[in-house]
Amino acid sequence: MTETMRTSRTESDRALKAKHRAMWALGDYPAVATEVIGELGTILVAACEVGPGDHVLDIAAGSGNAAIPAALTGADVVASDLTPELFADGRARAAARGADVEWMEADAEDLPFADARFDVVLSCVGIMFAPHHQDAADELVRVCRPGGRIGLISWTPEGFIGQMFATMKPFAPAPPPGAQPPPLWGNVDHVRGLLGERVTDVTARRQTVRVDRFATPEAWLEYFKAKYGPTIAVYRSLAAEPGRVADLDRALLTFAAGFAGDGGAMEWEYLLLTARRT
């Protein structure tokens, strides 16, 4: 690769990361993490058997959905994220619960930590949104000590969030070259391929989180249009095309209606994967 090509890639990656940071700062992701899927962080911490004295890294931690319950076990926890705008809410919630968490801005694809630094490395619907999956997986494995635990919760392609992204795709700007779809992290074969022989004792199971926050598909859509960064970003890209906005509204309402049960409750599927660093 020539120096010009390296510089071009670096510049394009920098621009892409800036776009991702801005997207997750839109709306109110901390509200989504606590009001809609708050239990997922505790589930992941329990699956990783986090306990007192563990050195834990939560990658793409957001406002600390997993980092805070990890710290409450007595672990020494670093919460890293590309979007530090999310940390203010996390710090406030951690303080309210008496959790001691270190917050650090960091790119999941280029973590500022030494090799084998952590006993447990986890990510709760976070690392899956890093655009270059292999780069992120390599960093995740690198910072975990030999024998350490790795834990991931990721939305599946077939589940609610995976299908939401599939529904929005025809309306969204084309992704940059090399960027991979986030829900691939919810495919166990894909994740096994990313981690390779660097891990052992892999366990993976599909589970669901019950979401009963929304009485109707319309209530869900208005909430996600106001609070969920990826949804907000797609609608903003269509701001000059009211017809397309209306089409997207209809597509998302039809999609959500297919998942809604009694009283509007939905089951959102995710992949829970744990492993040990070889």
Per-residue pLDDT of the chain (278 residues; tens, 9 = 90+): 444 333 335 778 889 999 999 999 999 999 999 999 999 999 999 999 999 999 999 999 999 999 999 999 999 999 999 999 999 999 999 999 999 999 999 999 999 999 999 999 999 999 999 999 999 999 999 999 999 999 999 999 999 999 999 999 999 999 988 899 999 999 999 999 999 999 999 999 999 999 999 999 999 999 999 999 999 999 999 999 999 999 999 999 999 999 999 889 999 999 999 999 99
For residues 238 and 184, the answer to whether their CB atoms sit within 8 Å is no
**Identity at 98, one-letter amino acid code:** G
55 Cβ partners below 8 Å, 6+ apart? 75, 76, 117, 118, 119, 120
For residues 133 and 194, the answer to whether their CB atoms sit within 8 Å is yes
Quick check: pTM over 0.85? yes
pLDDT tens digits, 76-116 = 999 999 999 999 999 999 999 999 999 999 999 999 999 99
Q: Where are the domains positioned within the chain? A: 3-163+173-210+269-277
Each as own residue / partner, the long-range contacts of residues 49-53 (CB below 8 Å, 24 or more positions apart, any chain) are 49/149, 50/75, 50/120, 50/122, 51/75
CATH number of 3-163+173-210+269-277: 3.40.50.150
In the predicted model, what is the mean pLDDT of the chain?
95
Name the phi and psi angles at 102, rounded to 5: -95, 125
Q: What pLDDT is recorded for position 12?
A: 82
**Identity at 69, one-letter amino acid code:** P
Give the gyration radius of the chain's Cα atoms. 18
